Each structure stands twice: as structure tokens, then as C-alpha cells.
Amino acid sequence: MTEVLSQDEIDQLLTVISAGDVEGEDTKQITDRKNIKIYDFKRPDKFSKDQIRTVSVMHDAFARHTTTSLSAMLRSLVNVHVASVDQLTYEEFIRSIPSTTALALINMDPLKGSAILEIDPAITFSMIDRLFGGPGENSKVNRELSDIEQSVIESIIVRILGNLREAWSQVIDLRPRLGNIETNPQFAQIVPPTEMVILVTLETRIEDVEGMMNFCIPYLTLEPIISKLSAQFMYSTIRRGSTTENLNILKESLSVIDVLLSAEIGSMELPVRDVISIQPGDTIRLPNVKIGDPMILKIGNKAKFKCRPGMVGNSVAVQVTEKLEDITPEEFEELTGEDIDE
């Protein structure tokens, strides 16, 4: 941070300079002590340090999920971790990647625009070789993908995108979709060259083969959710459970769940031999139950309401008359034979 001089310090400095007591070397030392920050207007910083840190945390989780899924898919030891998260122009990103590589254009629905997942050729051909039954060694191949190889790498990227959705779930319900795969960076112009992007570099190792995966996201794509890219938002307990939107989603999900309702007239214990001998038309006398007594309506195995039997059209029905929570513990135990605390 630039140091600001007080008015007294400024006056003393002007007095010394006017008197000629300060040599050129001393003036140079004073100048050298100033903390000057160079600002390039062609390359403005649009992401704060907190936002970059949040993106890094999100993709740490993405790297862990990808490590697990690729290890299972390739049946070999895979290690993926975040090497760096930087902001730069799209032109700088394009210039930093090989002239022939695998560039997957990713639709970032519901966000506007696209992102790019670039996979180093060494990693790409190692994964393809393993899925074809080979050892997956580093063969130094540098060529375009064949149709069959492209189909294989598409299946790998689709699995990776599932991990991306899970990693972003704390910020947005992202539904990334694979568009197409390019091998020439010049054909992957998703934003103007001077547009700022955030670049997540993932160091990837498959057995002895090492390489990079780069995930490039334009600022224009992240702009609608830029305020959510903060630690305060990600770890807020208010956001997670008590917003009206989340409660409505929870209610909607619960409203379609089927639950078992049963109206219980009464209960009694019988020996197994008596139960086996019961025939249609037999009458079972229930102890402590009178004709006018209410029935108990259970939800699942919990007694919740008093009700009385009746008919609706040609169907047998019950009418809820009272909540059991509104009665005393003694009345509850007398009706159900259960402790109200259970």
C-alpha cells in the first residue's frame, strides 16, 4: 500500500530541498522507497483475491473428484491437483497452449457463454492408450485426434463435467455440456482476444505421465454470479437452509412423497394358534374400546390424529377430528397405549 505523507512531513521536505541540503543521491533514495504499482489498462484485473481464492477452493474439490473418477475409469493411479489460478487475457491463454491439443468447448448453462477445457496431448493420448488396453506410456505423440479417439476423449470429458457440476453446486446449479472438440486453438474463439478470463491450471499425473489440464472461464460468463464467488457466501449457513427459495424447493420435493396412513380401531394380543384359526365372519372383541370411541390415525408408525369412520360415496373414509399433540400425555397413553414422548 502506498505510504501517504502528512502535511508537516511535506513542509519539512520542501524546506530541506529549498535549502539545498538534500543531495541527488538522497532524492533518488526517497524516490526508490515509493511503492509504485504498475497498472496496465489493456489488461485490467477484474477478479479480486478473494474471488480467485474461492475459485481455487471450488476446483480443489473438482480435482479430488476427478482423481477418483479417472482412477476408476483408467484402472490406474491418477493424481489431479490445482497448480494455479490466474487471471489473464484470452489471447495470453491461447498463446500459452500447444498448437495442437484437445480443446473442449463447454456450454456453462445456465450461465451465458462457453468455457474451454484444454487437455495436454501427453495426458490425452495416455488416457486413450489405456482405454484401448495399452500401457499408457508417454509416446510424445503430437497430432490431431482420429474420429474414434475423439469419441473416446468425449466420454472422458463428459465424466469430468459431472465432477465440475458437483464442485460448483455450492455456488450455482451448473449444468455443463460438451459442445465440440477442437484441436487448433485458433478455431476456439469464444471471446475477444482482450477479454479477461480466469485460468485454472490442474497438474495431472497418470502413472509416470505428467501434463496439464487448463480450465478457462471468461469473465463475461462469471459476471452474473461474481458476487457469489466469496468465502462468505460459500460458507454462509443462512444461504444453505433458511432462504425462501430453498424452503420452497424442499416443500415441493416433499409434496410428491407417498406416506402410509392407517386408521387403527384398537389393538389386542392373541396367541398364534388363535390368529391361525380366525375365519371370515368371526368377531374379535377389543378390550377398552367402545362403539363411540374415536379411532387413531397413524402416519407411518406414529399416532398423529383422532378420527372417526364414515363413507365418502362408495368409499370407506375417516374424518380427522383432533391432533394428538393437543391432548394431555395421560389421554394419549390411554388412547394409544404409547408414551407421547416416543
| CATH assignment of the domain containing 81 | 3.40.1550.10
Angle at 182 between CA 181 and CA 184, to 5 degrees: 165
pLDDT at 333: 62
Q: Which pLDDT band holds residue 237 (cuts at 50, 70, 90)? A: very low
Is 23 or 171 the better-scoring residue by pLDDT?
171
The domain total for the chain is 3
Which of 26-40, 280-294, 306-320 has the highest average model confidence (pLDDT)? 306-320
Angle at 136 between CA 130 and CA 139, to 5 degrees: 135
- The pTM of the whole model exceeds 0.85: no
Residues 172-182: pLDDT tens digits?
A: 888 999 988 88
pLDDT at 38: 63
Residue closest to 184 by CA, chosen among 92, 120, 100, 112: 100
Claim to verify: residue 183 and residue 297 sit in the same structural domain: no
pLDDT(121) > 80:
yes
For the CA atoms of 78, 84, 89, 91, what is the dihedral angle to 10 degrees? -40
Claim to verify: residue 199 and residue 77 sit in the same structural domain: yes
Claim to verify: residue 31 and residue 168 sit in the same structural domain: no
Residue identified by cell 533518488 is 28
Claim to verify: residue 233 and residue 138 sit in the same structural domain: yes
Claim to verify: residue 67 and residue 107 sit in the same structural domain: yes
Residue 198, domain member (yes or no)? yes
Claim to verify: residue 206 and residue 106 sit in the same structural domain: yes
- Could you tell me which residues come within 8 angstroms of residue 140 by beta carbon, excluding any fewer than 6 positions away? 122
pLDDT at 60: 92
- Could you tell me which residues come within 8 angstroms of residue 225 by beta carbon, excluding any fewer than 6 positions away? 111, 171, 172
Q: Which pLDDT band holds residue 331 (cuts at 50, 70, 90)? A: low
Q: Is the CB of residue 56 less than 8 Å from the CB of residue 86? A: no
Instruction: Note the maximum CA span of the chain.
Output: 123
Q: Is the dihedral of CA 159, 160, 163, 165 positive or negative?
A: negative
Residue closest to 339 by CA, chosen among 327, 329, 324: 329
Residue 4 lies in domain: 1-37
Residue identified by cell 478457462 is 216
pLDDT(24) > 60:
no
- DSSP per-residue letters across 273-327: HHHHT--TT---PPTT--TTPPEEEEETTEEEEEEEEEEETTEEEEEEEEEGGGS
Residue 190, domain member (yes or no)? yes
Residues 254-274: pLDDT tens digits?
A: 777 778 888 888 888 888 888
Claim to verify: residue 83 and residue 19 sit in the same structural domain: no
Which string of b and e fits 264-298 if b means at least 16 CB within 10 Å? eebeeeeeeeeeeeeeeeeeeeeeeeeeeebbbbb
Question: What is the pLDDT averaged over residues 179-192?
Answer: 86
Claim to verify: residue 129 and residue 217 sit in the same structural domain: yes
Residue 44, domain member (yes or no)? no
Claim to verify: residue 321 and residue 214 sit in the same structural domain: no
CATH label of the domain that carries residue 313? 2.30.330.10
Q: Which pLDDT band holds residue 246 (cuts at 50, 70, 90)? A: low
Question: What is the pLDDT averaged over residues 218-240?
Answer: 75
Residue closest to 177 by CA, chosen among 161, 191, 156: 161
Q: Which pLDDT band holds residue 332 (cuts at 50, 70, 90)? A: low
Claim to verify: residue 292 and residue 241 sit in the same structural domain: no
Claim to verify: residue 172 and residue 304 sit in the same structural domain: no
Residue 82, domain member (yes or no)? yes
Angle at 165 between CA 164 and CA 166, to 5 degrees: 90
Is 253 or 80 the better-scoring residue by pLDDT?
80
Residue 43, domain member (yes or no)? no
Residue identified by cell 485458433 is 186
Residue 293, domain member (yes or no)? yes
pLDDT at 337: 58
Claim to verify: residue 97 and residue 240 sit in the same structural domain: yes
